[in-house]
Chain A
């Protein structure tokens, strides 16, 4: 039978095939490009400065998205009604359970926000010194995002570690968490030296007031187990000055919010959890919060709940601070200083924003302050510290035989959770890392 295709041609075909494979094995086809992400070296390009600042903002917002729900459930701001019963730990004040899946799940976003904020500030400062930073306002914003991160960590955690990539760091200890506020304030100082837009300057100044006040609050609830309920009020001159300065920049009902982008939502999304999944509902302490002066349902909370509901299930806004909070800081400082008139003025300025009747010593001033902070600062991550220092408890808080609970350990904040404990040998053996 004659060959239709000659053996020689076949041989050549096989040889060609072999060569193709051989070449393929050695040539550039092995260099596959990754179009999904950018290499780290891209961050050295000054043109990436804005993108880095935007990334820091996204990371900070994602952090707030992740941690706000566990925090709110642990307080009386949200009540758990759903299926995932690890929430029950938090609902009963069991912040001390480092295994809790929700604090565990949120913590990586905290770690990323902190690391990225610092890295972004460092990179943009380098560009700035080299004169290659095109938009210095990006640096100002990066400072602000860093400040929000540091202050939020100090507000909510009893300890933290400043690791870098694969290099673990020892935890700083609760006593040193106060320094995180100092870092935040330092960032805000630098930012205010750069920022030009009034909105930015307002945000920075208002937040610096809030951080300085928070630092004072932290001192009232620390160390863990020795909350100073006898003298809970904070009177920090810096906070007062900054509050007044911020109000001077933008008066009225000004707010500093961070809008949550849907893509930057953490695994636990507070709007979906409450408005969609029905895992939680607004805390019973808030749904029918009665104004102690009028006895009527509190219009401030009613408006907040309506705004929260209107966000829907996908995304919403994180309320960071506002002139309302600043005036409450001023009121608190005045009350602590014995300046009842100023206290009353500030309280009533706040109350007037929602048409609530004026406070005129119908109840104790501290009670009025505590109430108004509860009504005005819903979901602003201030509630737990306020509950501790004002001696309030969530009726659902309960002692637990298996881990620490807010019901028995006042001043209890979130511990470094399991994901970090497992990945960072310095957490459980700090001495080995010093």
Chain B
């Protein structure tokens, strides 16, 4: 480390500075330095990473405090200077010092914790324009993750911090990114993901494996957002909706996430080195073993031999198959950062290496060492370099470069018949057999088994479900390698203190290559028929985002009490996405692993290009520095409409009133109790445009045996226009007890008009693809509440707590006469619908007939209801529910479960038994709470809990299979008990009747009873983060030349409390995607065989130099 430090302080810096000598010489003038310390005003602990800056001049220079709270700012122009100390969580404090030429001015700060952050500078507009939060009528949420928080990706940073912002992983697959929703859904058909900018440059926020032949089955989709080194992020801000994001125009209706990376600070280089070792495990205690039963004595005899333990007919027994796919995963992270600078050049550079081998393993199924290839790997190497160049006092250049290379290996998972975890979950231990290893046919007394649960050779020793044995399935390898570059050049010119110009040019470029491979001869157990002569798929996706923006700002005092801040500019971006994919199977022999080696090639190619550009202007008027009103708008053009079409105007307005900033507030009656009080309101519009080619009627290629053909593709709609989302919000902030406590409340509403609905026109009309039409409408409203407080702040103990919650209500008000949309198309097991009068994505499904109300013989809507003594069966098919007596007679003999199908209700007699409302996938309430405790000076505990509750429903398709499927699943203990009772000749009719009731009221599901016993309340509280940090005494690290050292033990997803009966209420079948569409937008809360969210424990060491 000393060597590195020596290099940076010596040779490298000399070289760098030498190259800039001409500039430096030119910059010389009479200067001095400012030194000082910053400590916490309560505990008097030194504060690290406090921004100390010189204000009131056109030149912004400053420094960060070190671990001892010390700072030094060199080359400060001589004279009286205002020095400002600012740290998130503290009230900023300014002091005036006199800087003598060549001298050192000293100043010390005692800053006080402040739960109110109205003076924080936030990003608004485009091009990085910034303003104090108090002047805005809309909220700009700042995501604050404690430095000790167990976060390893941007997805982790965003999770559970901000009310109304939900990050939703689809499963616990290693390397998976999360979907992001801000205040729910703002579009019925277009992407519901917020757009993301990093340092003013639009970022590829896609994910997955491209649109071609490579996929994992659903989950485990990497996110390009996670290519960002989380250690390089200085702050993340979220504009939650149209009221805040109007200046971002088209596509901003789902909010905007603004990521700002760290920048260099004046002074000697400061190094920081982090190393972490982490362990991950899946919650095996929430995964019930696989149960089954022998249906005859001969089967019991064979199974007894196979497993080496007694198995009796009709006596359920179990084996843990699915959890054998789990191990303890490990990850290692090493990262380093350096920052520093001169008046001419400041720099920040970071490198990070992250290597993870996750908690999935194929090794336990590699019997006879036939080879398994499936792994879960997540390796990332990330680099960030930011340079700030100040060639003059009023010009500045910023160069930001981010580069990341990643390697992922993901097991096939979720709703795939070839996913090992899925097949293992649905294994039926009674189906274990080693017939392919039998010698001498049926006479072989060993049945081909080794007698220990394994086969001598080929066979299905675990009773894997239909599609392959475990080791056959585990030969499939899915990989992705990606390179992600993001670069920005920003020039700023500040001709005067009142006027500034900015220009930003940026490029974000992603190249990802995904492959999947199944070797020749993979049917080693003679069971799988996927591609026995091998299979190779490849998908190359390149994605490019070019951002160009120019903007100016002009501030001026108007008359005596008014101030004006005018922002104006133009911004555009060009998005291009190319995707090429190939697939082949049928290799001539082993050893070939490339697509070109097969015999049945398939190809895929797609191209998409979007150009969006617009002008914007915003005027902010201030009155006496406590009333601010803002109004402005953006006029946008989009290539979806071509050059001949006009643009669309998105207006905005806001008001911020801060009575507590009036001089008369302090000392007033209210002022005695309320330290800070602000009222605010905002309204704005944003939109979503249709896809680049949605307006065109097109025919696409489809090959026939006689040559290339054309078939209907896109129905087209030349009348398409952007959908308009209008959002308003009213809010207030309160600070109490000298701002030690804060309450922040926002009530918002949103109306979506001209909503683009992906409409299904009659498929007999020839065009079966959904066609967009501006016919829909959706309303939403909600509120966000944040409470934060500093309970104690003493030298030996400080405690701070926070809590936040949000409420969300959404309603599809109109589909314009179009039929309801269903997630998954005709696939009946996903029950989310877009229906008028319901929340988007609401569940509908089968149900059993209700008991008849008193005096009624039918359901009020006309369908069947159950009279007293009737049960939801109709074994004699006479249209009348059976009585218990009838059933007892029917069940006098053993019956399979297929002989007692439930009688499905059709309450409204529309012949659709699957249209009963079953709940909605997003909760009413979502939020988090936590806090931190610092004790004995060196110890700090931070924690975060996240929760969702209130009409939160998850469709438990996993257990629907495990309770209901006769062939794949049907393997819970209850199912085995019921089935044993029904089939056992020794059972009585009464026992079978009881079993039948259990079956129909608790187990029956899947087609044609989709949704029955499938949707469950999924409220949960999750202990998301826990960290314990020890700040080491100097003697521990001084010999290393370090300036500080901290050791942190942390845990992520430490515990879960929920009544949800499935494995995890957060899993979902659809993984991250930046695109739109019914499945991507509303395929929510579907628990379909995904890996559960793992628990992660980590030990990390951080040292500063």
Interface on A for B, CB 8 Å cutoff? Answer: 1-5, 7, 10-11, 13-14, 17-18, 20-22, 24-40, 42-43, 48, 50-59, 61-62, 81-86, 88-89, 94, 97-102, 104-105, 107-112, 114-116, 119, 141, 160-169, 258-259, 261-264, 275-279, 312-315, 399-403, 408, 417-420, 422-424
- The answer to whether B570 and A112 have CB atoms under 8 Å apart is no
Count of inter-chain pairs, beta carbons less than 8 A:
338
A100 vs B768: C-alpha distance when bound (angstroms): 18
Known: A58-B703, A261-B704. 18 other contacts (CB 8 A): A1-B392, A18-B569, A24-B613, A26-B637, A53-B706, A54-B709, A85-B966, A101-B826, A104-B826, A115-B767, A116-B711, A163-B761, A276-B529, A276-B531, A279-B466, A312-B586, A401-B903, A424-B762
- Would A51 and B395 be within 8 Å (CB), given that A34-B693, A111-B762, A420-B762 are in contact? no
Do A164 and B765 form a contact, CB below 8 Å, given A37-B693, A85-B1006?
Answer: yes
Name the CB-closest residue of B to A35.
Answer: B607
| Interchain residue pairs with CB less than 8 A apart (17) | A14-B552, A25-B615, A30-B613, A36-B607, A36-B700, A58-B703, A82-B967, A83-B467, A100-B1007, A112-B763, A163-B765, A263-B602, A277-B417, A315-B600, A417-B826, A423-B762, A424-B762
| Residues in chain B near residue A32, CB distance under 8 A | 609-611, 639, 692-693
Residue of A nearest to B548 (CB): A21
Q: Which residues of A contact B699 (CB under 8 A)?
A: 37-40, 42-43, 55
Closest to B879 in A: A401
Q: Which residues of B contact A (CB under 8 A)?
A: 23, 26-27, 29, 391-395, 417, 426, 465-467, 491, 493, 495, 501, 503, 505, 529-531, 548-550, 552, 569-572, 574, 585-586, 600, 602, 606-607, 609-611, 613-615, 637-639, 641-643, 647, 692-693, 696-716, 759-768, 771, 819-820, 825-828, 874, 877, 879, 901, 903-904, 911-914, 961, 965-968, 1006-1008
User: Given A55-B702, A264-B704: A418 and B643 within 8 A (CB)?
Assistant: no
Q: How far is the CA of A54 from the CA of B699 in the complex (A)?
A: 13
Q: Which residue of A lies closest to B769 (CB)?
A: A108
Given contacts A53-B706, A54-B709, A262-B600, contact A28 B643 (CB under 8 A): yes
Question: Which of the residues B26, B503, B696 comes within 8 Å of A17, measured between beta carbons?
Answer: B503
Bound CA span A109–B763, Å: 8
Given the known inter-chain contacts A25-B572, A25-B647, A161-B762, please indicate yes or no for A37 contacting B713, CB distance below 8 A.
Answer: yes
Contact B571–A83 (Cβ < 8 Å): no
Query: Chain A's nearest CB lies how many Å from the CB of B778?
Result: 19
Q: Which residue of A lies closest to B609 (CB)?
A: A32
Chain B residues whose C-beta falls within 8 Å of the C-beta of A402 in the assembled complex: 901, 903-904, 913, 1008
Cross-chain contact B826 with A58 (CB below 8 angstroms): no
Report which of A11, A35, A40 forms a contact with B697, defined as CB distance below 8 A: A40
**Given A101, A313, A315, A419, which contacts B828 in the complex, CB threshold below 8 Å?**
A101
8 Å CB contact of A419 from B391, B826, B1007? B826
In the complex, what distance in Å separates the CA atom of A315 from the CA atom of B602? 12
CA of A173 to CA of B903, assembled, Å: 30
> Does the CB pair B614–A25 fall under 8 Å?
yes
| B residues less than 8 Å from A24 (CB atoms) | 548, 572, 611, 613
Q: In whole angstroms, how far apart are the Cα atoms of A56 and B393 in the complex?
A: 70
Report whether A61 and B643 are in contact in the complex, using a CB–CB cutoff of 8 Å. Answer: no
Return the chain B residue nearest A61 by Cβ: B704
Closest to B759 in A: A423
Q: Pick the contact of B709 from A25, A58, A315, A423 — CB < 8 Å?
A: A58
B569: nearest residue on chain A (CB-CB)?
A18
Q: How far is the CB of B830 from chain A (nearest CB, A)?
A: 10
| With contact pairs A36-B607, A55-B711 given, residues A99 and B1008 touching in the complex (Cβ less than 8 Å) | yes
Q: Could you say which of A34, A42, A115, A422 contacts B710, with CB atoms under 8 Å apart?
A: A42
Given A58-B711, A111-B768, A423-B762, the answer on whether A313 and B529 have CB atoms closer than 8 Å is yes
Chain A residues within an 8 Å CB radius of B711:
55, 58-59, 112, 116
Q: Quick one: which of A3, A42, A169, A277 contacts B762, CB cutoff 8 A?
A: A169
Pair B637/A30 contact, Cβ less than 8 Å: yes
A38–B712 Cα gap in the complex (Å)?
A: 10
Q: Would you give the shortest CB distance from A84 to chain B, in whole angstroms? A: 8
Contact between B549 and A21, CB atoms less than 8 A apart: yes
Residues in B with CB closer than 8 Å to A312 are 586
CB distance from A306 to the nearest CB of B (A): 16
Residue on B with the closest CB to A141?
Answer: B706
Q: Complex: how many Å from CA A34 to CA B235? A: 39
- B763 & A108 in contact (Cβ 8 Å cutoff): yes
**With contact pairs A14-B550, A101-B1007, A165-B767 given, residues A277 and B467 touching in the complex (Cβ less than 8 Å):** yes
A4 and B391: CB pair below 8 A? yes
- Please name all residues of chain A whose beta carbon is closer than 8 Å to the beta carbon of B493 when the two chains form the complex: 7, 10-11, 14
| A167 in contact with B712 given A34-B696, A38-B699 (CB within 8 Å) | no
CA distance A37 to B691 in the complex (A): 14
Decide: A54 and B704 in contact? CB cutoff 8 A.
Answer: yes
State the Cβ distance, B322 to closest chain A Cβ, in Å: 16
- Given A13-B503, A21-B550, A40-B716, A401 contacting B709 (CB threshold 8 A): no
Nearest opposing residue in chain A for B29, CB measure = A1
- Cross-chain contact A86 with B23 (CB below 8 angstroms): no
Q: A13-B503, A164-B766, A313-B529 are in contact. Are A105 and B825 (CB under 8 A)?
A: yes
Most chain A beta-carbon contacts within 10 A, residue among B29, B501, B571, B600: B501
Closest to A34 in B: B693
User: Is the CB–CB distance between B819 and A422 below 8 Å?
Assistant: yes
Chain A positions within 8 Å of B764 at CB level: 110-111, 114-115, 160-163, 168-169, 420, 424
- B717 (CB) vs chain A CBs: closest residue: A166
Neighbouring A residues of B501 by C-beta, 8 Å: 10-11, 14
Please measure, in the bound complex, the distance between the C-alpha atom of A119 and the C-alpha atom of B712, giving whole angstroms.
Answer: 11
CB distance from B849 to the nearest CB of A (A): 11
Q: In the assembled complex, which residues on chain A have CB atoms less than 8 Å from the CB atom of B395? A: 3-5, 7, 10
Q: Which residues of A contact B495 (CB under 8 A)?
A: 7, 11
Residues of B within 8 A of A99 (CB): 828, 912-914, 1008
Once the chains bind, are B901 and A115 in contact (CB under 8 Å)?
Answer: no
Contact A21 B613 (CB under 8 A): yes
Q: Which residue of B lies closest to A83 (CB)?
A: B968
Across the two chains, which residue of chain A brings its CB closest to B1008?
A89
User: In whole Å, how far is A400's beta carbon from the nearest beta carbon of chain B?
Assistant: 7
A111 touching B1007 in the complex, CB below 8 Å, given contacts A34-B692, A54-B706: no
Given A1-B29, A14-B503, A34-B693, also A163-B602 (CB < 8 A): no
Nearest CB of B to A158, in Å: 14
Q: How far is the CA of A230 from the CA of B714 in the complex (A)?
A: 49
Which of B548, B713, B826, B1006 interacts with A20 by CB under 8 Å? B548
Task: Give A98 to B642 CA distance when docked, in angstroms.
Answer: 42
Nearest Cβ in chain B — how far from A262, in angstroms? Answer: 6
Q: Could you say which of B549, B716, B765, B827 contacts A167, with CB atoms under 8 Å apart?
A: B765
A43 surroundings in chain B (CB, below 8 A): 699, 710
CA–CA, A120 and B967, complex, Å: 45
Q: In the complex, which of the residues A4, A39, A83, A109 contacts B465, with contact meaning CB atoms closer than 8 Å? A: A83
The 5 closest A-B pairs by CB, nearest first: A115-B766, A55-B709, A54-B709, A108-B768, A4-B391
Given A4-B392, A31-B639, A32-B692, A58 contacting B698 (CB threshold 8 A): no
Chain A residues with CB below 8 A from B904, complex form: 402
* List of B residues within 8 angstroms of A408 by Cβ: 877
- B391 touching A30, Cβ below 8 Å: no
Q: Give A41's nearest chain B residue, CB to CB.
A: B697
Interchain CB contact under 8 A, B768 and A109:
yes
Known: A111-B764, A112-B766. A400 touches B901 (CB 8 A): yes
What's the Cα separation between A62 and B762 when bound, in Å?
18
**B348, chain A: closest CB distance, angstroms:** 22
Query: Quick check: B637 and A82 within 8 Å, CB to CB?
Result: no
Query: Beyond A25-B572, A40-B697, A43-B699, is A55–B643 a contact (Cβ under 8 Å)?
Result: no
* A4-B391, A420-B763 as given contacts; A261 in contact with B703, CB under 8 Å: yes
**B393 proximity list for chain A (CB < 8 A):** 1
Which of B615, B708, B903 touches A51 (beta carbons < 8 Å)?
B708
Residues of chain B within 8 A of A86, CB atoms compared: 828, 1007-1008
